[in-house]
Amino acid sequence: MYEMATIRRVFEKQMKLEVCSIHQFESVENNKVYRIETESQPYIFKIYKGEWPEDEKLLLVEKLLAEAGIAHAKIFVYSRDKTDFPHGYLIEECLPGATADRLVLDKQEMVGLFEKLGALVSRLHQIKMKGYGYTGSGFADWETFSEFMYDSIGDNKANLLAHDLMADEVLEAIGLALRKRLKVCDKYASVLCHTDLSTKNMMVNEGDVTLIDWDDVYSLCWVYDLATLTFWMKREYGNEDAEVYRKAFLDYYETEYDLDEFDQVEPVIHVRIGLNDLNYFAGMPEYEQVKQLVNKSLEKCGMDLWKCLFK
């Protein structure tokens, strides 16, 4: 009750509007998200649980999306002030429609949805960035994609080793192999990547698709965004349906590069994404499924170490 009262007070002070009702969204993984109803329109109120996303990033993303003419939720207040919430909060537009994961769609309708997503992400990847990796003010620190991919393994390493899930020396060897394989991607320009493409972040309204939740934006190359989507598809739908939806997306995705090159690096990037998911799902039921996907990706890459990665 205290938190609800604080949300009401902060919202009414910032927006100069009276709150009619507050409803918390369930099953939100990283932050607390609420829908606030006023007499004129609804709003989204997000309370951050940590220091992520980076300062200034969401305001930068909104600016870039607006300049590119890509539909998005307008941000009204973004604050890292710790007075009322330890890690800050966000007030933004509540877009009409429903997220795709809440809709009952048949297979053909899902195909149409991923075709529209492919066209949308094509436009997103036309937004050029500087450097690779984490971005706040618009400048990322890594000069190449492959080096960032290698260095970012350290973000997961401590937790994986703490759970005694894999050997340190094998994980290091996998990291070096990934860096070597991904050097072919260093020729790709750094672009704005959502990196959390899935139905939960696709708002659907009268057939139109709008991406939401830009907390995990990175400055990376186009292949990474596509690989995050296709890895998620394998987890969500299994191999057969995942291939159908992957094809639908790629049929409508346009790039200045050779799209066939994605086939070569996709399983390599899946290994890196899988390590991140293993870190997140350590101790959870989803861990075993992700482990199987990582093993299959390693095997597909032809990496000799895949059989001894896990203890």
CATH number, domain of 245, equals 3.90.1200.10
51, 133: one domain: no
Structure tokens at 275: 């390590």
Structure tokens at 279: 């870190």
All residues at 6 or more sequence positions from 143 whose CB lies less than 8 Å from its CB, including other chains: 131, 132
Per-residue pLDDT of the chain (311 residues; tens, 9 = 90+): 568 999 999 999 999 999 999 999 987 778 999 999 999 999 999 999 998 898 889 999 999 999 999 999 999 999 999 999 999 999 999 999 999 999 999 999 999 999 999 999 999 999 999 999 998 877 899 999 999 999 988 777 777 777 776 778 878 888 888 999 999 999 999 999 999 999 999 999 999 999 999 999 999 999 999 999 999 999 999 999 999 999 999 999 999 999 999 999 999 999 999 988 988 888 889 989 998 999 899 888 877 654 555 54
Are 90 and 78 in contact, with CB atoms under 8 Å apart? yes
Centroid of chain to Cα 105: 23
pTM, to two decimals: 0.93
Sign of CA dihedral 62, 63, 64, 66: positive
Q: H-type helices in the chain, by residue range?
A: 2-15, 57-68, 107-124, 145-151, 154-162, 168-181, 222-252, 261-281, 286-301
45, 132: one domain: no
* Three-state DSSP state, 99: strand
233, 158: one domain: yes
Please identify, among 62, 94, 126, the residue that sits at the C-terminal boundary of a domain: 94
CA dist 147 and 170 (Å) reads 18
Exposure on the CB side of residue 241, measured as CA atoms within 13 A: 14
70, 190: one domain: no
* Helices 222-252, 107-124: crossing angle, 10 deg rounding: 130
Domain span at 38: 2-94
